[in-house]
Amino acid sequence: MDGATLCPRAGEVLTIPANTVWRYSRNVGMQKAGAQVHYRAAWKVSLRPGFGWLQHAYATALVVTQPRPVGTPTPDLYQNALEASGAMWQTRTSRGVPADTRLSFDLADELSRQAFLAELKKRGLDASKVDIDVSPPVSFSKPPNMPHTAKVTVSRTAKGFEFVIKVTNTSAEPLSVQNHTCEPHAIERKSDGVVVYQQGNGPCPGMVAATTLLKPGGFVTRRVLWDGKSSIRQTVAPGQYRILIGLGQFVGQAEFTAP
């Protein structure tokens, strides 16, 4: 509705009356033909103090001179190239859409984008005929200033590695841990910090975070399995790596060696 309260700064708290819809818009200004504008928004919805969940919305706009985007020619060839590249994707235009549809791909990271572009070039396909977006790097919360430990153990398995983070309450008071369905983790090369694999940076269901209450001395764990391959499904080179893993508002890390 018109007259919706504006947010002058990030983190502003707004109260929306029951059965009311507020709509917000943003003018992105003049853009050149061929430009791709990616707009993301996030807001935390809370029905009562201490209760809430994070919602996300995003939209991509391609600036063209025609009334509507031109469809992707030979779409099956582009879909085949994506699968052959081994690139990890978050969302993609499904097969079987109308022939005049412009294909869109949201890839997991820059490594996946480069692999997809290389495969398109090898097959003589024009990358400008599709929309390619890359999910932002995985991010971790700043560890809260409360007594705790976040220890990560690394174990070899028959199919790769197992990582377990254990968050322990070392204070004399209860500690709340917010668990979410999209907990992040990332694996990076120790030598240059390049992330070879990550999860938790793509579209996430808008589900309420579960709360675990830890008594003094209590702990909670999270287990992550990794097959030793990068986001483009290639076995990583032997060397030293680092795992960063989130559990609610806590973060732990450990170094390990890939054979």
Q: What b/e sequence results for 228-246 when a residue is b if at least 16 CB atoms lie within 10 Å of its CB, and e otherwise?
A: bebbbeeebeeeebbbbbb
Strands 131-134 and 104-107: parallel
Closest CA to 106 of 64, 58, 70: 58
Closest CA to 108 of 128, 126, 97, 92: 92
Alpha-carbon distance of 136 to 107, in angstroms, equals 10
Q: What is the pLDDT of residues 97-135, one digit of tens each?
A: 888 899 999 999 999 999 999 999 999 999 999 999 998
- Token digits for 26? 């943003």
pLDDT at 157: 96
- Token digits for 229? 């391959």
Percent of the chain as helix, strand, coil, to the nearest 5: 10, 40, 50
> In this structure, which amino acid lies at residue 179?
N
List the pLDDT tens digit at each of the 259 positions of the chain. 456 677 666 666 777 777 777 777 777 777 777 666 666 666 666 666 555 555 666 666 667 666 666 889 999 999 999 999 999 999 999 998 888 899 999 999 999 999 999 999 999 999 999 999 998 888 888 878 889 999 999 999 999 999 999 999 999 999 988 877 788 999 999 999 999 999 988 777 656 678 889 999 999 999 999 999 999 999 999 999 999 999 989 999 999 999 8
pTM of the shown model: 0.69
